[in-house]
A = this chain, B = another copy of it.
Amino acid sequence: MSLYAQYFYSVQADELLSDKHLIAQMLRFEGTLALAQAEQGLIPQASAEAIANCCQTDLIDTESLIAAVRLGGNAAIPLIKQLTQAVKQKYPEAAGWVHLGATSQDVIDTATVLQIEEFIYWLDEKLAVLSELLMSLSRRHRQTLMVGRTLLQQAKPITFGLKTAYWLAGIERTRERIAAIESKILTLQLGGAVGSGNTFISAAVQQNLADKLNLNAGFAWHTQRDNLAEWAAVLGIIGGSLGKIAKDIALLMQTEIAEVLEGAAEGKGGSSTMPHKQNPVLCTAILANANRLPPLVSTMLAAMPQEHERSAGLWHSEWEVLTEIMRLVAGSVERSTELLEGLEVAPQQMLSNLERTNGLIYAENVSLALAPKLGKAQAHELLEQAVKRAVSEQKHLKTVLTDMALDLPDLDELFSPEKSIGNSLLIIDEILAGIEPDKYQKT
């Protein structure tokens, strides 16, 4: 297990995406292919069962497999040799029917798709939990006042619930995204040597095998990698959406802002030399992953122009990269869940930060209130004067405006954060209302 297995990654997802599990899925393909071919009358049923029977990872010698990969250039060739050998020993008459009509890429691509299928299942559940957490935060902090910030400057009040609701909206769009493309991605690969099919992998076998593996039949896609690239891109988008959450939280955790805190598990976030620090340890992992994912997606896109009927290199460059993309996203999702579960929010500090500018963040309120009376330009100008005075005299803007005796009856209201959050509550409610809790539930 790698040093950062529990930090950048998810132990659960790593299990699904392990080499061992890939081999298991390749064997599953071979066994199921034989059964499908038998059902179509192409090979003897007993042989098919014999083959399926031998499709067990413990019959495979991984070490010699790894050594053989470098000779054939992929894992399928030596795996099928070992499988054939295993079958031969137990059921000599069945050995001739192993992998019939299929090509290396058929088994590797399909095994990858089967891993993706399990990964999506895992991911869907995790994202559902994440959504729940965000919904809960949005409800709880619907009215928790804080300042909105643009270009890292205090701008105008919002509520913390508005921030989390926007985070939620992004996650929800991605859940829809996954639901929309899932079935396309989960397409069997079975095209034979050059994608033309053959007697042993007829349309009927294809359909039968796809059904058995719970995949879609469909055209072979040996050198048409658009679905895979799209899947990588969607994963990259998740990494970006989670990176946005982590970025916000890490910024809000700054000593000088201190509006939220990663929950402090025993020993978490400590520094080796500064015992008082509460480092954004989870945010850090998510942000690290967010920096690593986009270029990996770029690799998947760059791998698309594959030569002729099977590429020499571009296909091969996808293997570990797609796995790494899924592993990093899994890590980010897990860390994000922990982050949101443990998140401590400091409403008092948020209120206190709202007062940092001596009322300047309410300037737009005043501007909009003055506009109907004076026109926008003059309102803007007057306000600029007031702001300058407030800054130079270090006075609260409300005081300055009172001194200027402007025709603004409801000054208190203009400087009240509750009255300055626009349609925040409405937007939160609409985002929450738009989510059907069971929409993506598998039955």
Measured CA separation A45–B332 after assembly (Å): 45
The answer, yes or no, to whether A209 is at the interface (CB within 8 Å) is no
Least Cβ–Cβ distance between A289 and chain B, in angstroms: 7
Measured CA separation A97–B173 after assembly (Å): 34
The answer to whether B306 and A292 touch across the interface, beta carbons within 8 angstroms, is no
Contact of A305 among B271, B287, B307 (CB under 8 A): B287
Measured CA separation A230–B236 after assembly (Å): 9
Measured CA separation A173–B265 after assembly (Å): 42
Given contacts A6-B70, A275-B384, contact A375 B268 (CB under 8 A): no
Given contacts A66-B5, A297-B233, A301-B237, contact A279 B246 (CB under 8 A): no
Of the 9-residue stretches A119-127, A136-144, A149-157, A340-348, which lies at the interface with chain B? A149-157
- 12 sample A-B contacts, Cβ–Cβ < 8 Å, listed by A number: A76-B272, A84-B377, A96-B372, A103-B272, A148-B309, A150-B194, A152-B307, A194-B422, A225-B240, A251-B308, A254-B257, A291-B299
The answer to whether B219 and A251 touch across the interface, beta carbons within 8 angstroms, is no
The answer to whether B253 and A383 touch across the interface, beta carbons within 8 angstroms, is no
The answer, yes or no, to whether A65 is at the interface (CB within 8 Å) is yes
The answer to whether B244 and A73 touch across the interface, beta carbons within 8 angstroms, is no
Least Cβ–Cβ distance between A128 and chain B, in angstroms: 18
The answer, yes or no, to whether A72 is at the interface (CB within 8 Å) is yes
> Which residues of the partner chain B approach A229 to less than 8 Å between Cβ atoms?
233, 236-237, 240
Contact of A257 among B256, B319, B364 (CB under 8 A): B256
Of the 9-residue stretches A162-170, A406-414, A435-443, which lies at the interface with chain B? A162-170
Least Cβ–Cβ distance between A25 and chain B, in angstroms: 12
Measured CA separation A243–B266 after assembly (Å): 36
> Which residues of the partner chain B approach A289 to less than 8 Å between Cβ atoms?
317
Contact of A149 among B97, B301, B307 (CB under 8 A): B307
The answer to whether A203 and B423 touch across the interface, beta carbons within 8 angstroms, is yes
Least Cβ–Cβ distance between A410 and chain B, in angstroms: 14
**Copies of this protein, total:** 4
Least Cβ–Cβ distance between A44 and chain B, in angstroms: 10
Given contacts A66-B5, A281-B73, contact A193 B363 (CB under 8 A): no
Q: How many residues of A contact B (CB 8 A)?
A: 185
User: What does DSSP make chain A's interface, helix, strand, loop or mixed?
Assistant: helix
- Among A166, A197, A202, A288, the most chain B Cβ lie within 10 Å of the Cβ of A288
The answer to whether B273 and A364 touch across the interface, beta carbons within 8 angstroms, is yes
> Which residues of the partner chain B approach A13 to less than 8 Å between Cβ atoms?
none
The answer to whether A308 and B84 touch across the interface, beta carbons within 8 angstroms, is no
The answer to whether B256 and A197 touch across the interface, beta carbons within 8 angstroms, is no
| Closest chain B residue, CB of each to CB of A69 | B7
Contact of A284 among B180, B303, B316, B375 (CB under 8 A): B316
The answer to whether A100 and B371 touch across the interface, beta carbons within 8 angstroms, is yes
The answer to whether A313 and B294 touch across the interface, beta carbons within 8 angstroms, is no
> Given known contacts A3-B19, A101-B368, A291-B299, what 14 new A-B pairs fall within 8 Å (CB)?
A72-B268, A73-B281, A95-B375, A151-B250, A151-B280, A151-B284, A153-B277, A155-B193, A173-B184, A241-B304, A244-B304, A284-B313, A290-B304, A297-B298
